Amino acid sequence: MISLLNVLVLASLTAIGGFLPILVPYATVGTPILPGAHELMHWRAISVGLCTLSLQVPAVWVSGWLLGPRLGLASQVVLLLVGLAGLPIFAAGGGIHYTGEPTFGYLLGFLPAVVLIGALTRKGQQARPLGAIMWTAAGLVLGQAAMWGVGLTWQAIALGGRPAIWRASVEGTLQLAASYACLMAVIVVAQALLAALRNRAPFDSSDPILPKTR
């Protein structure tokens, strides 16, 4: 029952996150084509500023981090099924016709992303601080790469593989890298702190967050 509740809560948070914008820093080479980009500094070809992103993708990361690969995957499957059933929880609505949207591939990309993040961050939860940092960072980076890979491939097919649109999509996606790295750092630091606390002293085995060290 608790596992089902966790799945439903994280599925709901992922859906709600799609409608919650946040300001994050960006750093790009060339002209930024990010949503709501506000340039603060420009030096030669480098642009630095703030852009607007939704909390949906970070919610996917958190789903894998907190629930692990199996339940994390279940949470994102629930999200997709509810949206495809007609509830308008996607950026442009919902319904089975949404599979024809060029951006639907990014939603499909949530599935391999949450599995990779869940599997690798779980390894980080059993490691010492340095190992926790490495496993968690690897999980987040590989998971995000998988999400982008599925999303860009779907978009290219949906748009007929037109080179100009493909290049613009890839460029815009890569420009998000620095912004997402800032958000990933929050989870990596949290994982490292938990690992430090876990290895500092033994805890009772019934503790759900900080299991007893061996």
Which sequence spans correspond to the domains of the chain? Answer: 2-20+56-200
Please tell me the predicted confidence (pLDDT) of residue 213: 44
Helix (H) or strand (E) holding 46: strand 46-54
Planar angle of CA 20, 23, 27, nearest 5 degrees: 135
Task: Please answer whether residues 134 and 83 qualify as being in contact, where contact means their C-beta atoms are separated by less than 8 angstroms.
Answer: no
Residue carrying the six token digits 């033994």: 202
Helix (H) or strand (E) holding 21: strand 21-29
pLDDT digits (tens, 9 = 90+) for 177-187: 889 999 999 99
Residue count of the chain: 214
Predicted model pTM: 0.87
Confidence of residue 206 (pLDDT cuts 50, 70, 90): very low
Q: CA dihedral defined by 90, 105, 78, 187, rounded to 10 degrees?
A: -90
Token readout for 105 is: 């591939």
Confidence of residue 5 (pLDDT cuts 50, 70, 90): very high
Hey, CA dihedral for 54, 57, 63, 65, is it positive or negative?
A: negative
3-state secondary structure of 55: coil
- Is pLDDT at 175 greater than 60 in this prediction? yes
CA 108 to CA 80: how far, in whole Å?
A: 8
- Is pLDDT at 205 greater than 50 in this prediction? no
2-20+56-200: which CATH architecture? Orthogonal Bundle (1.10)
Alpha helices (runs of H) in the chain, residue ranges in sequence order: 2-17, 56-84, 104-108, 110-125, 129-158, 163-175, 177-200
Q: What are phi and psi of 47, to 5 degrees?
A: -115, 135
Q: How many CB atoms lie within 10 A of CB 52?
A: 14
Q: What percent of the chain has pLDDT over 90?
A: 55
Please tell me the predicted confidence (pLDDT) of residue 201: 52
CA 170 to CA 53: how far, in whole Å?
A: 17
Please tell me the predicted confidence (pLDDT) of residue 12: 96
Confidence of residue 29 (pLDDT cuts 50, 70, 90): confident
